[in-house]
Amino acid sequence: MSINGNDYDWESMEIRLPSGVAVDIEEISYNDEAPIEEHYGKGGTPIGYGRKNYKAAGSMSLGLPEFERLKEHLGGSIYKGKPFQIVVSYANDDQVTVTDTLPDVKITKTDTSGKQGDDKVGARKLDFKILSPIKWNAKEAY
């Protein structure tokens, strides 16, 4: 832990896609969950719980050149390619590297918007599902 130093920031982050290290990426977000459902019997408080299915998903925003490189690497279709891995690493000189691995990613939605005055026309926001448990700093979530 740094004291009065530089904590992890966007400059200290590296995102590796199947097409290589992403340089034209503006945003990435990912999450997972292992929901439970309360079981009730007599009274108003749970007497137990049941486990539901693990889920993981995310999104990222890529500039058009980065999007085109990824699409080409996936065989020309952003949807038909095989599941791929995304690796997100955070590192500063005086801190331990943190690496999250998103295995078996499949893109489910592509979104683009542009308006007069935009400096990033053609940027793509991609939503994706993660079909295997996320490895949060090398530790499998589920």
Query: Hey, where are the domains in the chain?
Result: 10-35+57-140
The pLDDT tens digits for 60-114 are: 999 999 999 999 999 999 999 899 999 999 887 777 889 999 999 999 999 987 6
The pLDDT tens digits for 14-44 are: 899 999 999 999 999 999 999 999 999 999 9
Given a contact cutoff of 8 angstroms between Cβ atoms, the answer to whether 21 and 14 are in contact is yes
Q: Cα separation of 36 and 49, whole Å?
A: 6
CATH entry, 10-35+57-140, from 2.30.110.20, 3.10.580.10, 3.30.1540.20, 3.40.50.300:
2.30.110.20
Q: What angle do CA 11, 84, 56 make, to 5 degrees?
A: 80
Given a contact cutoff of 8 angstroms between Cβ atoms, the answer to whether 64 and 124 are in contact is yes
pTM of the model: 0.85
